[in-house]
Amino acid sequence: MTSEPESPTSPNETSDVLLSPSEAEPKPGLNGAPVRWFDADRTEPYTRIAPFQERNDTSVEFFYKPITLTALSIGLAALAYVAMSSDLLAEGRDKRRVGVYAAIASFLMFSMIQFRDGPFVRPHPAFWRVVLGINLLYELALVFLLFQDLHSARKMMTFLDPALNVPLPEKSYAENCALTAHNVWDAIDIFCLAHALGWFGKAMILRDYWFCWILSIAFEFAEYSLQHQLPNFAECWWDHWILDVLLCNWLGTYLGMKTCQYLEVKPYEWRGLRQTRGLRSKAKRVLSQFSPHDWTAFKWEGTTSFRHYVMVVLLLAVFLAAELNPFYLKSLLWMEPDHPIIIMRLAFVFLCALPAVRELYQYINDPKKARRMGQHCWLLLATVLTELLVITKWSRGMFQESLPVLVRWGWIIGGILLVLYPTVRFGVPAARRYLRRQTRKGKTKTL
C-alpha cells in the first residue's frame, strides 16, 4: 500500500493516515446548519462524531482482522484457569493481589478491543488503545488517592512495594559550587543520561526546536522558584545552565529533532507482507511495523493568532506541571528518584503524550475538522490536573516556608509579560480595526 497524500508532512492533515473523500468525517449539523435538540434524529449521519478516522492499516492483513469474540474466549479461559487453580492462588494478600491484576488485565483487554482509535496506527491501533486504557486506570487511581490523607496514601503504597513508607534523607546539590573540572565531573551521573533521554522524548513529542528551548529554560526557572520547598532543586548555577541546559537538554533535543527531520523527509511506501519477497525483506517489513506510518511536522506558530498564543502557553504550563508533579509526588510519598514507580510513570506519560499532543495540534490548527479535543489529549490533561489536586491537598502544612520575595516578584513580572504581549500583539490591532469600522459607519450615516 502506498501513502497517497500530496504532502505527508502537511499540517492540514486530519491525522497521520489521511481520509479519502468518500471517508471524510461528516460535518456537525444538517447541511452545515445547527440542529435543535428537539429536531435531532439520532439515526442521521450528522450525529456521528469521530475526531479521527478509524481506517485500518491493512499492510499486514492478519493483525487487522476482527477477533473480538476470539479474544473474549481466550481472556475468559485464562481467567477461569487462574481462578480455579488452587495451586496458583496463595492464601491471604496474594489472592487479593492476583484479583487486582486480573481486573486490570480484563479492563485493558476491553480497552484494546472496544476503545476508539486515535491518530496513530503503528505498531497497531490496539497498542494505543491499551495506552489510553492505562492512562484511564492511572487517572482513576489518582481520583481514589485524592480522597485519602497523606498518611493513608503512604501506607497504601506498601502494597506495591513493602520497602516504601520510610522517610527519605534530604539531598542538596548546591554544597560545593566552585566551577572546577573535579566538581563538574563529580556532578555527572546516571541522571545526566536520564536528562538527555527525557529531552529526546520531548523533542519527539513537540517536534519544535524553539518550544523545547523555551520549556527547558522555563523548567530551570521553576527549579529556582521551588528550592524553598524541594531541597533537591537547589543546584549550582553551572549545574543548572551548563550541565542541564547546554549539555544534557541540548543533546537530547538535538538528537530528537534530527530524528524528527529524518522521519519528516523519509519516503513512506507500504506493502503488505504477502507482497514482500524474500525472508530478509519480510523481516525488514515486520520491523518497519514499529516505525511511524507517516510523519507530520509541527509548526506551533504561537504568535500568529490569539488562539494559537493561548494554546501554546497552556501547553507549556501543562508540560511544566507534568515535569514538576513527579518531584512532588516522590517527595510526599517518600520514593527515591530511581524508584521503578517513578520510572514507569515517566515512561507512561511519554507514551500518552505522543498521541495527545498530536491530537492537540490537530485541534488547534484545523478546528473545522477537529471539532472537539481528542480522547488522548483530554484524558492526559485530566491526569496532570488531578495530580496537581492530589499534590495541593497533601502539601497542606508540609511546606511551611513562604515564597521568597524575589521569586514572588519574578512570577508577577512574568505574568504581566504573558498578559502584556497578547494585548499589544493582538488586542491593540483589533481595537484599531474596530475603531476604523465605527468611524466608517459614522461617516456613512452622515452621508
Whether residue 198 is contained in a domain is answered as no
Q: Report the pLDDT value the prediction gives residue 149, as an integer from 0 to 100.
A: 93
Average pLDDT for 69-74: 84
Query: Are 323 and 218 in contact, with CB atoms under 8 Å apart?
Result: no
Per-residue pLDDT for 190 more than 90? no
Show the cell assigned to 160: 506495591
pLDDT of residue 32: 57
Predicted structure pTM score: 0.79
**Are residues 358 and 420 located together in one domain of the fold?**
no
| 425/378 same-domain check | no
Mean local confidence (pLDDT), 33-62:
48
Is residue 135 included in any domain, yes or no? Answer: yes
Question: Residue 84's pLDDT band (boundaries 50, 70, 90)?
Answer: confident
Domain identity same for 441 and 315: no
The counts of H helices and E strands in the chain are 15, 0
Query: Do 441 and 304 belong together in one domain?
Result: no
In a domain, 392, yes or no: yes
Amino acid at 195: H
Quick one: which of 149, 144, 120 has its CA closest to 132? Answer: 120
440 and 350 within one domain: no
20 or 338, which is more confident:
338
**Residues in CB range of 244: below 8 A, 6 or more apart:** 195, 216, 220, 235
* CA–CA gap between residue 226 and residue 445 (Å, rounded): 60
* Torsion over CA: 303, 307, 313, 319 (sign): negative
Alpha helices of 120-249 — where are they, by DSSP H? 125-146, 150-157, 181-187, 190-206, 209-225, 237-238
Place of cell 491484576: 101
Cα R_g (the chain), whole angstroms: 26
Q: Based on the fold, state whether residues 440 and 385 are members of the same structural domain.
A: no
More confident residue, 344 or 290: 344
**pLDDT above 70 as % of the chain:** 79
Q: Which residues contact 145 (CB under 8 A, 6 or more apart)?
A: 153, 156, 390
Residue 197 lies in a domain: no
Domain of residue 46: give its range.
1-178+205-220+260-401
- pLDDT score at 91: 53
**pLDDT band (50, 70, 90) for residue 22:** very low
Looking at the DSSP bridge assignments, the partners of residue 33 are: 30
Residues 377 and 422 placed together within one structural domain of the fold: no
441 in the same domain as 323: no
Q: What is the mean pLDDT of residues 293-307?
A: 83
Same structural domain for residues 55 and 164?
yes
Between 210 and 175, the more confident residue is 210
Half-sphere exposure of 147 (CA within 13 A, CB side): 4
Shared domain check, 114 and 64: yes
- Structural domain contains residue 407: no
Structural domains in the chain (count): 2
Give the pLDDT confidence score for residue 33 in this predicted structure: 60
Note the pLDDT tens digit of each residue in 335-368. 988 889 999 999 999 999 999 999 999 888 887 7
List Cβ neighbours of 86 (8 Å cut-off, separation of 6 or more): none
What is residue 135's predicted lDDT score, i.e. its pLDDT?
Answer: 95
Is residue 230 domain-resident?
no
Identify the pLDDT of residue 19: 45
- Highest mean pLDDT among 11-25, 43-57, 76-90, 218-232 belongs to 218-232
Cα-based distances in Å from 68 to 56, 60, 105, 375? 15, 18, 15, 22
In percent, how much of the chain has pLDDT > 90? 35
In a domain, 168, yes or no: yes
More confident residue, 434 or 90: 434
> Does 168 share its domain with 209?
yes
Mean local confidence (pLDDT), 303-328 = 91
Q: Average the pLDDT over each of 87-91, 412-416, 440-444 and give the range with the smallest value.
A: 87-91
247 CB burial (10 A radius; 0-12, 13-18, 19+): middle
Across 65-74, 281-290, 430-439, the highest mean pLDDT is recorded for 430-439
pLDDT for 4 beyond 50: no
Q: Is the pLDDT of residue 316 over 60?
A: yes
pLDDT of residue 444: 77
CA–CA separation, 137 and 352 (whole Å): 13
* 128-181 pLDDT, tens digit each: 999 999 999 999 999 999 999 999 999 999 988 888 988 887 776 777 788 888
pLDDT score at 106? 92
Q: Look at residue 196 and tell me if it is in a domain.
A: no
Judgement on whether residues 321 and 375 belong to the same structural domain of the protein: yes
Give the chain's mean pLDDT.
80
pLDDT tier, 47 (very low <50, low <70, confident <90, very high otherwise)? very low
CA dist 127 to 30, 59, 258, 296, Å? Answer: 35, 17, 26, 20
pLDDT higher than threshold 50 for residue 374: yes
pLDDT at 267: 67
Q: Which residue has the higher pLDDT, 160 or 272?
A: 160
Residue 29, pLDDT > 70, answer: no
